[in-house]
Amino acid sequence: MSNELYKKHRPSTFKQLVGQAEAVSVLTRLGKADNVPHSLLFTGPSGCGKTTIARILKKKLKCHDSDFKEINAAETRGIDMVRDIKDTMGYAPMGGEGSCRIYLVDEAHKMSNDAQNAILKILEDTPKHVYFFLCTTDPQKLIKTIKTRCTEIQVKALNRAGTKELVESTCEKEGTEVSEDVIEAIHEASLIEGTNGASSRKVMVILQSIIALSDETKQLQAIAQNDTKAEAFELCKVMLYNPRSTWPDVAKVLNKIEAEPESIRYMVLGAASSALLKGGKLSSRAYSCIVAFRENFYDSKKAGLVAACYEVVNGLAE
């Protein structure tokens, strides 16, 4: 069994799901009526349980593993993916009587326009033994006719109560506990950009990183450090790894940074040093980062961080 908490304690029944009462209610009602639609569209933020719910429904429909095909549209986004589905979906299920075939297409919005039009034709004429589960974080990128052809199941980010329930239930299974302050810190560190809710997957990842620490102070410090790493990575992604980024692009990231600037400086220097040692097209930008970030921000604080970033983006670092 995996030691990673989010895999170890991944829900296997609707009853175990936290914070998804509406989605579970819809699917349970459809199941009781023996009327599960053959085309379902699971929408919601990343890391909140779309594929987990789809896999639970797979069990409810008694779909054998051999008849369950999971496809990542981000990797196989073209029309060939749809052709492969069309070539196999006509076969009878291998799982025996009462089974079905299920195609789960993750990151569905990344399908090419041709692939979306091709899969639409399949959705309009799906065999009785075949189900399609489309999962997406950005349903607006799907063509309108796909959305109208599918029954949408909205999967939500966790509110504070949901995060508390998830953390406490996991800690109970692990034979430990954490304080209310730690739970609040985990929730804040797991918030999804543009929402007031947390990613259940990130909640579990952060809990994994602090659950073995000896006291609350160390746990809170570790959570803060985890959040700093995430912010530093976002800054490096736009300022270091993408030399074409403009100052407005970097400023947008800087406006969201709440971590201690000196901690950010240390992590940017580490990333820039690694990039410079590897050589290649990032060498020039990496060198500029090292030059601009070599002085500490203890006195200048965030103003120093902003100025250093400005120097890098505008080629002012010497």
Per-residue pLDDT tens for 91-113? 888 866 668 999 999 999 999 99
Residue 232: closest CA among 289, 180, 288, 284: 289
- First and final CA of the chain: distance in angstroms? 52
Collapsed DSSP state (helix, strand, coil) of residue 33: coil
pLDDT tens, position by position, 200-255 = 998 998 999 899 898 999 999 888 878 788 888 989 999 999 888 899 999 999 99
pLDDT tens, residue by residue, 262-313: 888 988 999 999 999 988 888 999 999 999 999 888 888 899 999 999 999 9
Supply angle C-alpha 282, 287, 289, rounded to 5: 95
pTM of structure: 0.74
Q: Domain 20-154 belongs to what topology?
A: Rossmann fold (3.40.50)
Nearest to 37 by CA among 84, 83, 102, 89: 102
The whole-chain average pLDDT of the chain stands at 90
Residue 3 in this model has a pLDDT that exceeds 70: no
Nearest-angstrom CA–CA distance, 150 and 132: 9
Q: Where are the beta strands (DSSP E) in 98-216?
A: 101-106, 130-136, 151-154
Q: Are 287 and 276 in contact (CB under 8 A)?
A: yes
Domain boundaries, the chain: 20-154, 225-318
